[in-house]
Amino acid sequence: MIEYTGLDAVYYDLIYDGDGVPGDVQFYVEEACRSGSPVLELGCGTGRILIPTAQAGIDIVGLDRSADMLAVAREKIAALEPETASRIRLVEGDMRSFSLGERFNLIAIPFRAFLHLLAGEDQRAALTCIREHLADDGRLIFNIFDPKIELIAAHLGTMGTAQQKLRDFVNSETGRRVIVWAQRVYNIEEQIIHEERIFEEVDNDGRVVSRSYIPLILRWIYRYEMAYLLELCGYKIEALYGDFQRGPFREGREQIWVVRGT
């Protein structure tokens, strides 16, 4: 399954309102400037981090599996200053099996995109492919959420979480209100989150005129599981942060990994 297609891609920027996890854009741009060109972003989506990185003067390649997300990114890049747009190259591809014929000073996987890899062999394939594309002394930086066990445990043996409202915005083409809902089911044995997103478009009388259901599946990873996986795939851990201000790791928040190939 390829995530973020159709309405998920069209409305992506409105759902997340420019911020994935607070502070992540500034963090990844700073790390890209520290590393210098070229940079590769895996799971670049609509260019939320890709474009600010290019605007900071960095040459960057953005790779994503979703043609729909890349189409949105291309529209945004076309509106940039030519000098900035020239620093960006988009590639439709899979982080498990790409071959770009060059090496990068930094490879980034922002906003928990690594969690879309649901099987151990997929995770290892991606990390191996990434290491082959790192320049000498190049770094891999990515973030994933640290699972909140109490939250997961509270919903075991149930039909899942209550339906929650994610976002409310206006469809610019129809002028109608769009409400995005989400409901999650946790599978603790497989460490899988099954999320169903519901897009409801509502007219001025409050009637739902259209409703779409879009699935999203993620596999959470525990801290020491991730550390072992990185070491198994030939990486040396340089840092593990708990937030995008480079604070210490704390359980139940964020895992922000900075690693180098060995």
Cβ–Cβ < 8 Å for 114, 142: yes
Average pLDDT of the segment spanning 233-256 = 97
Res. 147 pLDDT band, cuts 50 70 90: very high
DSSP-assigned beta bridge partners for residue 255: 144
What's the pLDDT score for residue 1?
60
3-7, 50-54, 67-71, 249-253: range with lowest mean pLDDT: 3-7
Share of the chain above pLDDT 70, in %: 97
Q: What count of other Cβ atoms lies within 10 Å of the Cβ of residue 80?
A: 16
Tokens standing for residue 108: 């980034």
Q: Which residues contact 172 (CB under 8 A, 6 or more apart)?
A: none
Looking at the domain 7-146+221-261, which fold is it? Rossmann fold (3.40.50)
What's the pLDDT score for residue 137?
94
As a whole number of angstroms, the distance between CA 151 and CA 207 comes to 33
Res. 54 pLDDT band, cuts 50 70 90: very high
CATH architecture of 149-219: Single Sheet (2.20)
Share of the chain above pLDDT 90, in %: 85
Distance of alpha carbon 148 from its chain centroid, rounded?
Answer: 19
Does 113 have pLDDT greater than 70? yes
